[in-house]
Chain A
Amino acid sequence: MAEKKDILEEVTSSDYKYGFTSDIKMDTAPKGLSEDIVRFISKKKNEPEWMLDFRLKAYRHWLQLEEPHYWAHLQYPKINYQDIIYYAAPKQKKELASLDEVDPELLKTFEKLGISLEEQKRLSGVQSTIAVDAVIDSVSVKTTFKEVLAEKGIIFCSFSEAVQEHPELVKKYMGSVVPYTDNYFSALNSAVFTDGSFCYIPKGVRCPMELSTYFRINTAGTGQFERTLIVADEGAYVSYLEGCTAPQRDENQLHAAVVEIVTHKNAEVKYSTVQNWYPGDKNGKGGIYNFVTKRGICLEENSKISWTQVETGSAITWKYPSVILKGDNSVGEFYSVAVTNNHQQADTGTKMIHLGKNTRSTIVSKGISAGFSNNSYRGLVRVAKGAKNARNFSQCDSLLMGDKCGAHTFPYIEIKDKTAVVEHEATTSKIGEDQIFYCNQRGIDNEKAIGLIVNGYCKEVLNQLPMEFAVEAQKLLAVSLEGSVG
């Protein structure tokens, strides 16, 4: 009951509670993008030659590309890539012996965000612990529980560390799912990515705790370009969480990340995101431009990749977590709730590429638009020739609140095999007046009633989230929709 009360209290309180800025001493690169900046980042990170080569190749390829404006249902001015700081890191000593040496301001920041960097079990009755990799602007500041995980052979560290310590793994898998040639933003990311998380689960290991990365943009004028790589070897399992916030600023900041997942035989990766970048103010000023390429590949048979996302933040979201179902009998899942309010724009969905035999995929997408926002689902289901007995079910529901917003569905279905069974259905509607009336009648006011109905509407997706996240997500939904009624 107490929990519920909190949610309702939060509904009536502030809009974006993570909008504070922290005064951490930063080490930044000059504004602008050039080959020198790419070299500068690589040097800063003390990278081997092959890494720099990869970056430069990506950068040169990026120069030939044009910012894609022609298909997404998004409107934004051309981004000035010379007006972005590509590297910003908290100033600190080279090697950290313990947590005490971390800038206290930085610790405070993460505390404020509700992320504990100290390795103590959380109270509040939650049994499982979570290992966190905290990334602020361009670098990873702390990875918790590393030692505990290492005992099981699990590698969980920042991407830069992985480049230094596990180059053979990074070399083998980086760019194998999202090559730098994939699209405009993945090319940009490949050239200038600064950090991110790396995770390798060895054969037959079931990761004992949830792994998580927490991203925070802090410095003004920076862009965040992180890269995450998760590899689950034969029979491994991991559940991975990702969270993100940014301070409230009038300018638009760019976030262009790449996430790659590889699953081997019988392995499973569950990736959950609660995306809560600063969405801009009520008039659409400021906010994060979120251009993310997320893709997983079920490399061998009987593997499974599942994406769950709750998208509430960002001024612009451009994100299509995808699964390539290469191994026979592999399974791909996509569960999404996307909420847009005020002047937010979201164009998000998934791609399910069926290549292997007997592959299955499920897509459940729930869009909610309010205010002046536009919310689009864009998803692709492709069954390649020879992908026998592929099966897909997609369901996309949209909910409109008010008559100034838009909800759109753009599914692409491409089938080249006669044994495929593919179903897609979509609906668009508003919250029934009778439902609200029913709540009103029982003394629940409009705003709370909407929160209640929306949570019910999203239940299918929220159920897929790990417990800690689910509570968070429910609160977030209520806050995001605050002020959208009446």
Chain B
Amino acid sequence: MNVIEKMSSTEKLVSEFQRVKSSLKGFLSLREKAISEFERVGIPNRKNEEWKYSDASALFKSEFNVEGLKLKVGKHDIDKFLVPNLNASVVVLVNGIYSEELSSLENIPKGVVISSFAQALAEKPEIVATHFSKYADTTNDAFVALNTAFASDGVFISVPDNTIVKNPIHIINIISVGLPLVKGDKEGFLIQPRFLFIIGNNSELKIVESFDASSSQAKNVCNSVAEISIGEKSKVQYYKLQNDCTGVHLISSVNAHQQKESHFDTNTITLNGDWVRNNLNIVPDAEHCETHLNGLFITCGNQHVDNHTLLDHRKPNCESNQLYKGILDEKSIGIFNGKIFVRRDAQKTNAYQSSKNILLSDDATINTKPQLEIYADDVKCSHGSTTGQLNEDAMFYLRSRGLSENSARNLLLFAFAGDVIEEIQIEPLKIYLAELVNQRLKK
């Protein structure tokens, strides 16, 4: 394990890449291209329009290990992260490394492959080659480039044509440092899991991804990149739950590519986490696609939650819908930056985007930037953004019926958040999340 003396600069990471590149499994020219892009773009600071409200360069001031720490986590430690009654296949990553022994796959239909990304790199290079780094743009996104350069482990899922994977697949990310590190208190880990999901035609897949970094104490950064290829008429649901990520700075990028008549639904719920940045880059690249992006963030303390979405409509007759809600308390900062991009050919696009926020404290900040960039004329695109407080009349109504101020407030906030929870299509997960949100609001 090599501790880099100063990770504050982009160069350090580049030199680290040169050091470890021989141990990375294949795709060297692709990785080298990615690292040179990373070097060119650099770790973004506030001058970068996409990072205006989130200074990523501040996260990279401490020192990092680029290789994950191999930790022993017991099977019973996993139990507390499971969602009751979900009946999911569980895939566990410990510090970005796929754990065979902790993962348990159930009811996997024939032909479906669920494995570590490392295994896929080694055993299925041709399949990986057709999709790896094809949907996640390394040219403008420094963190995607960085992940692509180092990507060595994560999760690989391949679903053949005409296959419905009934049970959801629950990916649990455990970020854990365990013992105090080798020296100093500056060290942290740069953990970079890579996800590649390939879904054939006429198939269905549901993914639930959750985080646990409660036993992590250092200023670790988790930079995850997911690439999802969705075949014709297929349906993919992707739920991201960021509940216990206080010990890690999270940068996540989900890149989905949709074929004809496919559906992609995603729901990002952020409840606890110091510093979270979620990028969603969705490309409905054929006609009659449908895309739903939903998000909810409830923050307090000094939390910083940044949600970025980009919907790149390239082909005609597609539909997309975005709903993001934020509840911000204490000194927390919330950001929603959504962009609907409609290209010249994408006539008859129907795109809607809505961002609604409630501020509970005078020290909280919400920055929203809902954007439309439109080059086709026969489209229906609109967005709305509101920021306000709880309705006084509604509060009064509840108080007049004997509810305490707190419970009236929680009830109203829960109703506000409920719109996003309602969009979840897996019943046990919906119940679980509703409970989590309820608990969170009581805090």
Binding site for B on A (CB under 8 A): 70-71, 73, 385-386, 398, 400-430
Best-buried of A385, A421, A422 by chain B (most CB within 10 Å): A422
Are A407 and B374 interface neighbours, CB within 8 A? Answer: yes
Can you report 18 A-B residue pairs in the complex whose CB atoms are below 8 A from each other?
A73-B373, A400-B374, A400-B379, A403-B376, A403-B377, A409-B371, A409-B383, A411-B368, A413-B387, A415-B367, A416-B362, A418-B361, A418-B362, A418-B389, A419-B389, A426-B372, A426-B384, A430-B377
In the assembly, what is the distance between CA of A410 and CA of B370, in Å? 7
Q: Which residues of A contact B49 (CB under 8 A)?
A: 70-71
Q: Which residues of B contact A421 (CB under 8 A)?
A: 386-389
- Taking a contact as CB atoms closer than 8 A, the residue among A398, A405, A420, A425 that contacts B384 in the complex is A425
Are A428 and B379 interface neighbours, CB within 8 A? Answer: yes
CB distance from B210 to the nearest CB of A (A): 30
Q: Which residues of A contact B372 (CB under 8 A)?
A: 398, 407-409, 426, 428
Binding site for A on B (CB under 8 A): 47-49, 344, 347, 357, 359-389
Are B377 and A417 interface neighbours, CB within 8 A? Answer: no
Are A385 and B362 interface neighbours, CB within 8 A? Answer: yes
Are A408 and B371 interface neighbours, CB within 8 A? Answer: yes
| A398/B374 contact (C-beta < 8 A), A386-B362, A411-B385 known | yes
Q: Which residues of A contact B375 (CB under 8 A)?
A: 403, 405-406
- Name which residue of chain B comes closest to A377, CB basis: B372
Are B377 and A415 interface neighbours, CB within 8 A? Answer: no
In the assembly, what is the distance between CA of A414 and CA of B386, in Å? 11
Are B359 and A418 interface neighbours, CB within 8 A? Answer: yes
Are A429 and B380 interface neighbours, CB within 8 A? Answer: yes
Are A423 and B385 interface neighbours, CB within 8 A? Answer: yes
Q: Which residues of A contact B370 (CB under 8 A)?
A: 409, 411, 424, 426
In the assembly, what is the distance between CA of A400 and CA of B382, in Å? 13
Q: Which residues of A contact B373 (CB under 8 A)?
A: 73, 406, 408
Are A425 and B367 interface neighbours, CB within 8 A? Answer: no
CB distance from A485 to the nearest CB of B (A): 11
Q: Which residues of B contact A418 (CB under 8 A)?
A: 359-362, 364, 389
Q: Which residues of B contact A430 (CB under 8 A)?
A: 377-379
CB distance from B299 to the nearest CB of A (A): 14
- Taking a contact as CB atoms closer than 8 A, the residue among A405, A408, A413 that contacts B369 in the complex is A413
CB distance from A461 to the nearest CB of B (A): 19
- Name which residue of chain B comes closest to A376, CB basis: B373
- Name which residue of chain A comes closest to B384, CB basis: A425
Are B384 and A415 interface neighbours, CB within 8 A? Answer: no
Query: Other CB < 8 Å A-B pairs besides A415-B366, A418-B359, A428-B381, 13 of them?
Result: A403-B377, A405-B377, A408-B371, A411-B368, A411-B370, A412-B368, A413-B368, A416-B362, A420-B359, A420-B388, A425-B382, A426-B382, A428-B374
Are A427 and B369 interface neighbours, CB within 8 A? Answer: no
Are A413 and B344 interface neighbours, CB within 8 A? Answer: no
- Name which residue of chain B comes closest to A433, CB basis: B378
In the assembly, what is the distance between CA of A429 and CA of B351, in Å? 11
- Name which residue of chain A comes closest to B373, CB basis: A408
Q: Which residues of A contact B387 (CB under 8 A)?
A: 413, 415, 420-422
In the assembly, what is the distance between CA of A415 and CA of B384, in Å? 16
Are A406 and B374 interface neighbours, CB within 8 A? Answer: yes
| A423/B386 contact (C-beta < 8 A), A418-B360, A418-B364 known | yes
Q: Which residues of B contact A422 (CB under 8 A)?
A: 385-388
In the assembly, what is the distance between CA of A427 and CA of B373, in Å? 11
CB distance from B386 to the nearest CB of A (A): 5
CB distance from A407 to the nearest CB of B (A): 5
- Name which residue of chain A comes closest to B333, CB basis: A416
Are A415 and B359 interface neighbours, CB within 8 A? Answer: yes
Q: Which residues of B contact A426 (CB under 8 A)?
A: 370, 372, 382-384
CB distance from B125 to the nearest CB of A (A): 39
CB distance from A263 to the nearest CB of B (A): 27
Are A417 and B359 interface neighbours, CB within 8 A? Answer: yes
| A429/B379 contact (C-beta < 8 A), A418-B360, A420-B388 known | yes
Best-buried of A413, A419, A420 by chain B (most CB within 10 Å): A413
Are A403 and B344 interface neighbours, CB within 8 A? Answer: yes
CB distance from B296 to the nearest CB of A (A): 18
Are A414 and B365 interface neighbours, CB within 8 A? Answer: yes
| A427/B371 contact (C-beta < 8 A), A70-B49, A419-B389 known | no
Are A413 and B367 interface neighbours, CB within 8 A? Answer: yes
Q: Which residues of B contact A406 (CB under 8 A)?
A: 373-375
Q: Which residues of A contact B363 (CB under 8 A)?
A: 385, 416
Best-buried of B360, B366, B368, B387 by chain A (most CB within 10 Å): B387
| A425/B383 contact (C-beta < 8 A), A408-B371, A409-B372, A414-B367 known | yes
CB distance from B314 to the nearest CB of A (A): 14
Q: Which residues of A contact B377 (CB under 8 A)?
A: 400-403, 405, 430
- Taking a contact as CB atoms closer than 8 A, the residue among A403, A405, A411, A428 that contacts B382 in the complex is A428
Q: Which residues of A contact B361 (CB under 8 A)?
A: 418
Q: Which residues of B contact A416 (CB under 8 A)?
A: 362-365
Q: Which residues of B contact A402 (CB under 8 A)?
A: 377
In the assembly, what is the distance between CA of A419 and CA of B388, in Å? 7
- Taking a contact as CB atoms closer than 8 A, the residue among A70, A386, A408, A409 that contacts B47 in the complex is A70
Q: Which residues of B contact A408 (CB under 8 A)?
A: 371-374
Q: Which residues of A contact B364 (CB under 8 A)?
A: 416, 418
Q: Which residues of A contact B359 (CB under 8 A)?
A: 415, 417-418, 420
In the assembly, what is the distance between CA of A414 and CA of B337, in Å? 12
- Name which residue of chain B comes closest to A406, CB basis: B375
Q: Which residues of A contact B379 (CB under 8 A)?
A: 400, 428-430
In the assembly, what is the distance between CA of A403 and CA of B343, in Å? 9
- Name which residue of chain B comes closest to A386, CB basis: B362
Q: Which residues of A contact B362 (CB under 8 A)?
A: 385-386, 416-418
In the assembly, what is the distance between CA of A300 and CA of B380, in Å? 43
- Name which residue of chain B comes closest to A420, CB basis: B387
CB distance from A423 to the nearest CB of B (A): 5
Q: Which residues of A contact B383 (CB under 8 A)?
A: 409, 424-426
In the assembly, what is the distance between CA of A249 and CA of B313, in Å? 39
Are B374 and A413 interface neighbours, CB within 8 A? Answer: no
In the assembly, what is the distance between CA of A71 and CA of B49, in Å? 6
